[in-house]
C-alpha cells in the first residue's frame, strides 16, 4: 500500500509532464484500437458467413455469369438442400459516395437460405407480390431515413438506366454479425427488363448460393458441383461462403497489411515519447535513487520503483484509451457511413490495447532502470549539484 502511494506521488510529481504523456498514451491506444477495429470490420463478411452455404461462380472470374438452367442441375446434386441465385446490381443511389451492396435475388429461395435476415411475414409477402419491391437492411434504412413504401431510385452501372424500386421490407439481423447494410431486389425484374432491351444478356446469374445439409460435406459437394460442369462452356468454381468472402478481403490485403503496420507504428511512436519521459524522470532523480541505495535498499528496489511508475502511467493511459475508443469508434462509424457495415470494438481488441499499453510501460522503463541499477552511489549523490 505504501509502495503504491509512493509510486503515485512519484508519477504525479511533474503534473504537466505526466499529464502530457497520458494524453499521448490515450491518443495512441485509442488509435491502435480504432485501426484494429477497421481491419476487423473488413473481415465482417467472413465472420457473418455460414458453414452450410456454398457459393458457385464462374471459374474464369466473378464477373462472368452462369446460365440460369444450372439451378436445376445443382439442386439434383447429392447433399444439396437448397439453391438460390443472386446478381450484383451495382446501382448508384444519388452519388457514388452512398455506396452499399445491392443484389438482385430470387426472393423465396434466397431468403430461405439466409435465415439470419429477420423479416416480418407481412413484409415478406408484400415484397414477393411487388415486382418493383425491395428489401433493405435496418442500418441502411436508418442511415437514409427510409420507411416502408418509400420509392428508391438507383442509377444502374451494370444494368443501364434509372431503376425505381419501392421499399416493401426492412430486415433485422439475427445477431451483431449479420450485415444490415444490403438491399435486395427481384432478379426476375432485372432479367426481364434486360431481355426486352438487349435479349442476349438475360437469364444469366452472377452466383449460385447452395445450401447443404451437412457442413462436413462442403468439400465433397463442391467437387460434385464443379465436376458436373467441367469442360462445359461455363465451368464453375464452388467454395464455402467463408472462403468466398475471404477471397474478397484478400484482394485488399495490401491495404490491410498497411493499416496493421501503421497500427504498430503508433505504438512505437508512443513508446519513444514514454521512454523519453521515463529517461528524464530517472535523470532528475539520480540523487534520490543514490540516497535510497545508500540507505540500504537493494538495486532491485530502485528498478522496481521505475518500472512501477512507468507501468502505473501506462495502465492509467491504457484504461482511459480503451474507454475513449468506444465513443471514437461510434463517431467514426457514423462518419464512414455504409463503408463499414459492422463496426464494433471487439474484446480481443480491448485486450490487445491493454497489452500494448503494458508493453509501452515496460519498454519505456527498461533502459533508465538498467542505468539506475548500475549507478555508483557516490557519483549519484554528487549529482545533486
Partner 1 sequence: MRPPRGVPLAYIARNLWVRRVTTALTAGGMALVVYVFATVLMMSEGIRATLVATGQPDNVVVLRKGAGAEINSIVDRRQAAIIETLPGIATGAGGARLVSREPVVLISLPKRGNGKASNVTVRGTSPAGLQLRPQVQVVEGRMFRPGTSEIVAGRAVAAGFDGVGLGQSLRFAGREWLIVGLFDGRHSGFDSEIWGDAEQMLQAFRRGSYSTMVLRLADADGYAAFRDALEDDPRLSLEAKPERVFYAEQSEALATFIRVLGTALSVIFSIGAVVGAMITMFAAVAARTAEIGTLRALGFRRAAVLSAFLGESLLLSALGGVLGLAGASAMQAVDISTTNFSTFAELAFQFVLTPAIAAQSMAFALVMGVVGGFVPAWRAARLGIAESLRAA
State the nearest-atom distance from the C-beta of 257 to partner 1, in Å.
9
Nearest to partner 1 of 126, 237 (CB atom)? 237
Q: How far is CA 366 from CA 13, 24, 72, 158, in A?
A: 20, 19, 68, 59
State the nearest-atom distance from the C-beta of 53 to partner 1, in Å.
19
Angle in degrees, CA 105, 116, 228, rounded to 5? 50
State the nearest-atom distance from the C-beta of 270 to partner 1, in Å.
5
- Contact (Cβ atoms closer than 8 angstroms) between residue 85 and residue 70: no
Nearest to partner 1 of 275, 303 (CB atom)? 275
Nearest to partner 1 of 19, 120 (CB atom)? 19
Q: What is d(CA 135, CA 141) in angstroms, rounded to the nearest whole number?
A: 10
Q: What is d(CA 69, CA 85) in angstroms, rounded to the nearest whole number?
A: 11
Q: What is the DSSP string of 324-351?
A: HHHHHHHHHHHHHGGGSS-----HHHHH
Residues that bind partner 1 in the complex, under the rule CB under 8 A: 16-17, 20-21, 23-24, 27-28, 31, 35, 59-64, 90, 96, 155-158, 160, 200, 231, 233, 235, 237, 247, 250-255, 258-259, 262, 265-266, 268-270, 272-273, 275-277, 279-280
- Contact (Cβ atoms closer than 8 angstroms) between residue 101 and residue 181: yes
State the nearest-atom distance from the C-beta of 284 to partner 1, in Å.
9
Nearest to partner 1 of 65, 82 (CB atom)? 65
State the nearest-atom distance from the C-beta of 315 to partner 1, in Å.
18
Nearest to partner 1 of 70, 117 (CB atom)? 70
State the nearest-atom distance from the C-beta of 112 to partner 1, in Å.
29
Nearest to partner 1 of 279, 366 (CB atom)? 279
Report the SS3 class of residue 180.
coil
DSSP tally for the chain: helices H, then strands E: 15, 13
Amino acid at each position: 500500500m505504501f509502495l503504491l502511494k509512493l509510486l503515485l506521488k512519484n508519477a504525479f510529481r511533474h503534473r504537466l509532464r505526466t499529464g502530457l504523456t497520458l494524453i499521448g498514451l490515450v491518443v495512441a491506444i485509442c488509435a491502435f484500437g480504432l485501426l484494429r477495429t477497421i481491419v476487423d470490420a473488413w473481415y465482417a463478411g467472413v465472420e457473418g458467413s455460414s458453414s452450410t452455404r456454398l457459393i458457385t461462380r464462374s471459374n474464369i472470374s466473378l464477373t462472368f455469369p452462369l446460365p440460369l438452367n444450372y439451378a436445376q442441375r445443382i439442386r439434383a446434386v447429392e447433399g444439396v438442400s437448397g439453391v438460390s441465385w443472386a446478381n450484383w446490381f451495382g446501382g448508384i443511389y444519388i452519388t457514388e459516395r452512398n455506396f452499399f451492396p445491392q443484389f438482385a435475388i430470387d426472393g423465396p429461395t434466397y431468403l430461405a437460405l439466409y435465415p439470419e435476415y429477420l423479416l416480418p411475414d407481412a413484409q415478406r409477402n408484400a415484397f414477393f407480390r411487388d415486382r418493383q419491391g425491395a428489401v433493405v437492411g435496418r442500418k441502411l434504412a436508418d442511415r437514409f431515413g427510409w420507411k416502408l413504401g418509400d420509392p428508391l431510385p438507383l442509377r444502374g452501372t451494370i444494368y443501364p438506366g434509372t431503376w425505381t424500386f419501392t421499399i416493401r421490407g426492412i430486415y433485422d439481423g439475427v445477431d451483431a454479425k449479420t450485415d444490415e447494410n444490403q438491399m435486395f431486389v427481384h432478379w426476375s425484374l432485372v432479367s426481364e427488363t434486360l431481355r426486352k432491351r438487349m435479349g442476349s444478356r438475360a437469364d444469366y446469374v452472377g452466383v449460385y448460393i447452395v445450401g447443404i445439409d451437412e457442413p462436413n460435406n462442403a468439400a465433397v459437394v463442391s467437387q460434385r458441383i464443379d465436376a458436373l460442369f467441367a469442360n462445359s462452356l461455363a465451368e464453375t468454381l464452388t467454395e464455402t461462403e467463408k472462403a468466398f468472402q475471404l477471397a474478397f478481403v484478400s484482394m485488399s490485403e495490401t491495404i490491410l497489411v498497411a493499416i496493421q503496420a501503421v497500427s504498430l507504428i503508433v505504438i512505437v511512436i508512443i513508446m519513444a515519447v514514454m521512454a523519453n519521459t521515463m529517461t528524464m524522470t530517472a535523470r532528475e532523480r539520480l540523487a534520490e535513487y543514490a540516497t535510497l541505495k545508500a540507505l540500504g535498499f537493494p538495486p532491485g528496489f530502485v528498478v522496481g520503483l521505475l518500472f512501477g511508475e512507468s507501468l502505473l502511467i501506462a495502465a492509467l493511459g491504457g484504461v482511459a484509451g480503451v474507454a475513449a475508443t468506444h465513443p471514437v469508434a461510434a463517431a467514426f462509424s457514423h462518419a464512414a457511413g455504409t463503408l463499414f457495415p459492422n463496426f464494433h470494438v471487439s474484446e480481443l481488441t480491448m485486450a490487445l490495447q491493454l497489452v500494448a499499453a503494458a508493453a509501452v510501460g515496460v519498454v519505456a522503463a527498461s533502459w533508465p532502470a538498467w542505468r539506475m541499477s548500475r549507478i555508483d552511489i557516490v557519483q549519484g549523490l554528487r549529482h545533486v549539484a
